[in-house]
Every structure is written in structure tokens, then in C-alpha cells.
Amino acid sequence: MKIGVLALQGDFAEHVSMLKKLGVETAEVRLPEHLKSLDGLIIPGGESTTIGKLAVTYGLMEPLREFGKSRAIWGTCAGAIFLSSDIGRDQPLLGLMSIKVLRNAFGRQVDSFETDLDIEELYKATGTERPYHAVFIRAPIIESVSGSARVLSALEDGRIVAAQQGHLLATSFHPELTDDTRFHEYFISLAG
């Protein structure tokens, strides 16, 4: 099992360190040739505009779309934006997931927050029942899911914060900023 982390910009080192904790081999991806021999890919948090522009410049858009057809990809925050098909503004998107995302949906940095989520799928996959403590930083929300995409988790007011479409996963929060490895374990199970 070898999982890549897109290392154009953002908190890729935090994802690498979570994967290492779980004993998974990792690789940093900056150019198309770095995608070879990977079983899955994480697109980290960061600035989605920066990540998108660098992906276009270094010819990663098509190779990433191709990769996502058969292999697992998980986007956290900026990564979720990048995976989506519609964000209501003009910036490079992979369009791999049938989800509509709204950037900075909660406001600015002073509106960033933490909250506990109940995620049935995660409990089942990891045999646990502890709530999942999620960190939202200038976070997006998933406005709607369509096609084969489904809601994995929503806030109490119904706003969607995690979605899955087969082997593709999007979360608007940052599991890599916590000590809880369950989301990474869940993703590895999708990649394996």
C-alpha cells in the first residue's frame, strides 16, 4: 500500500505524518510522474486557488482525473473544493465528484471552529463509537450532492461537511490536524 499526498501547497506534511503513524508508505506528488505506482492520493488543505493554478501549470489536471477513475482520492478542505464539479466561480477544478461546494462558507478566520460529528460510516468501518472531533478552518461546505455521490456527514443544521462517491472522499474539515487517525484508516480501506 502506497499513498501519495499532493504536495503543491498546503498541509501535506501533516497528512504524510498521519499515514506514517498507520504504517503506510507515502510519496509527495508535485509532477505527473509522481503518480506512478500509487494506490491512492490525498489532496490536502491549503489554498484551493494556489493548488489549482499549480496543478494546471505542471500538467497535473488530466493525470489526476485519470487517476481518480480507478483509484481512491480524498480531498480535505481545499482538496474537497478541488475534487468538486461546481463552486460557483471560475477556478481550476478536477470535477471528479458530483458535489457542489461553497468556499469560505462559514466566514473568515475568526469564524473557524471545532465540533463533534457523529459519522455512522466511520464507526462501522473502525469499530468505534466515539464522536469524531472535526476542525473547520475557513472551511467550505458541500452545498449539494448528486449522481452517485452521497452524504457522509452533516452538521446539526443539515449543512453537508463530508461526502463520498465510490472510492472518492471529500471532507470540509481537517482530520490531519487531530490525533484521531480514524478518517485516514477509513480512506486506506477505500484505497486497498
Partner 1 sequence: MQPNTVAWTEKKGLAQMLKGGVIMDVVNVEHAKIAEDAGACAVMALERVPADIRADGGVARMSDPDMILKIMDAVSIPVMAKCRIGHFVEAQILESIGVDYIDESEVLTPADEEHHILKHNFKVPFVCGCRNIGEALRRIGEGAAMIRTKGEAGTGDVVEAVRHARTVIGAIRQLQTMGDEELMAFAKNNGAPYELVKETKELGRMPVVNFAAGGVATPADAALMMQLGVDGVFVGSGIFKSGNPAQRAQAIVKAVTHYQDASILAEVSKNLGEAMVGRNISQMPEADKIAGRGW
Taking the alpha carbons of 74, 10, 2, 94 in that order, is the dihedral positive or negative? positive
Please spell the DSSP secondary structure of 57-68, one letter per residue: HTT-HHHHHHHH
Q: Establish if 14 lies at the interface with partner 1 (CB under 8 A).
A: yes
Interface with partner 1 (CB under 8 A), residue total: 35
Q: Where are the alpha helices (DSSP H) in 84-145?
A: 120-126
Return the bridge partners of 29, or none. 6
Q: Is residue 40 within 8 Å of 190, Cβ to Cβ? A: yes
Q: Is 34 a known active-site residue?
A: no
Using the rule CB under 8 A, is 166 a contact of partner 1? no
Rounded to a whole number of angstroms, the minimum distance from the CB of residue 124 to partner 1 is 27
Q: Is 33 in the site for partner 1 (CB under 8 A)?
A: no
H-helix or E-strand spanning residue 139: none
Q: Is residue 173 within 8 Å of 161, Cβ to Cβ? A: yes
Per-residue binding letters, 100-129, with partner 1 (x by CB under 8 A): ---xx--xxxx-xxx---------------
Q: Which of 3, 4, 12, 96 binds partner 1 (CB under 8 A)?
A: 12
30 is a site residue for partner 1 (CB under 8 A): yes
The distance of closest approach from Cβ of residue 49 to partner 1 in the complex, given in angstroms and rounded to an integer, is: 6
- Please choose, from the candidates 137, 156, 148, 152, the residue with its C-alpha nearest in 3D space to the C-alpha of residue 186: 152
Positions touching partner 1 (CB under 8 A) are: 7-14, 30, 45-47, 49-50, 53-54, 57, 77-78, 89, 103-104, 107-110, 112-114, 135-138, 174, 177
Catalytic residue numbers read: 77, 174, 176
